[in-house]
Amino acid sequence: MKRAIIVANWKMHKTQLEAKAFLEEMAKMDLPSTKEVWIAPSYTSISVLEEMRKNLNLSILIGAQNVNEHNLGAFTGEISAAQLSDAGAKFVIIGHSERRHIYLESDAMIEKKIAQALNESMIPLLCVGETEDQRAQGVTKKILSFQIRGALGSFSKEDLQSLVVAYEPVWAIGTGKIATPEIAEEAHQMIKKDLANMFGEEFTETVPVLYGGSVKAESMQNLMKQRNINGVLVGGASLAPDTFQKIINY
């Protein structure tokens, strides 16, 4: 059966108290067993939510929004994969466009971050996506290939058994301008083709590719009907329990 992974990326929102209140609301909901719900809060809420999730027996994965590319050392203000895993993170978002553009993360750095996540047995959720200009110039396919190859080129398929990829067109993130299901599906096919060229068809079939960028409940049905869309990464609409629950119950 096709996987349906729904990931909340809270970015720099919510105190511990607010994060806990959100999870309390989620606990009141019947989580559909066919859908996988993941939440990436701020670092400070990871252990709090993981503890609460265990106590409430909720089948939700708690993860992180970023990880440092080194395993430890003098990197003031940074956080390591071992520290995230210790806090209870089961997955980590890597190479989000906000990290690439605001904090100038390169593909080489992203590749190292994936290695760090894998070392700690956390699921790497690799984000790729083109800017508006790149799409207008007709280089979307090339950009996605660069990003996929740059991030994954040094790994074997055995290393990447848990890999999840998210297609996040930069022009759709936080803009309210969602990609049409056809545009998203076309980009997902490009990503799958690159993965297949690198790791073979059989492996590629097992890699979920999520769509992210202005996702709302209304867009879910048509997005999820596409063959190569295995879920969504949600920013703004994941902040309130009711809008997030509507997305889960599409």
In the complex, the residues that contact ligand PGA under the rule CB under 6 A are 9, 168, 173-174, 212-215, 233-237
129 versus 199: smaller Cβ distance to ligand PGA: 129
Considering the complex, what minimum distance in angstroms separates the CB of residue 121 from ligand PGA? 23
- Compute CA 85 distance to the chain's CA centroid, rounded to the nearest angstrom: 17
8 versus 163: smaller Cβ distance to ligand PGA: 8
CA distance 58 to 87: 17
Burial of 125 (0-12, 13-18, 19+ CB in 10 A): buried
Pick the catalytic residue: 50, 98, 130, 168? 168
User: How many C-alpha atoms does 160 have within 13 Å on its Cβ side?
Assistant: 26
Pick the catalytic residue: 96, 105, 130, 185? 96
CA distance 69 to 135: 29
7 versus 19: smaller Cβ distance to ligand PGA: 7
Place of tokens 């939510």: 49
Alpha-carbon distances, residue 16 vs 25, 43, 77, 110, 159 (angstroms):
14, 10, 19, 28, 34
Place of tokens 């997902």: 188
19 versus 52: smaller Cβ distance to ligand PGA: 19
- Catalytic site includes residue 96: yes
Phi, psi angle pair for 210, to nearest 5°: -100, 155
Considering the complex, what minimum distance in angstroms separates the CB of residue 82 from ligand PGA? 25
159 versus 222: smaller Cβ distance to ligand PGA: 222
- Catalytic site includes residue 168: yes
Q: 59 and 31 in contact (C-beta within 8 Å)? A: yes
Considering the complex, what minimum distance in angstroms separates the CB of residue 179 from ligand PGA? 11
Considering the complex, what minimum distance in angstroms separates the CB of residue 13 from ligand PGA? 10
Which residue is at the shortest CB distance from ligand PGA? 235
Give the amino acid at 113.
K
The token pair at 119 is 């070392």
CA distance 124 to 95: 10
The token pair at 249 is 């119950």
Residues taking part in catalysis: 96, 168
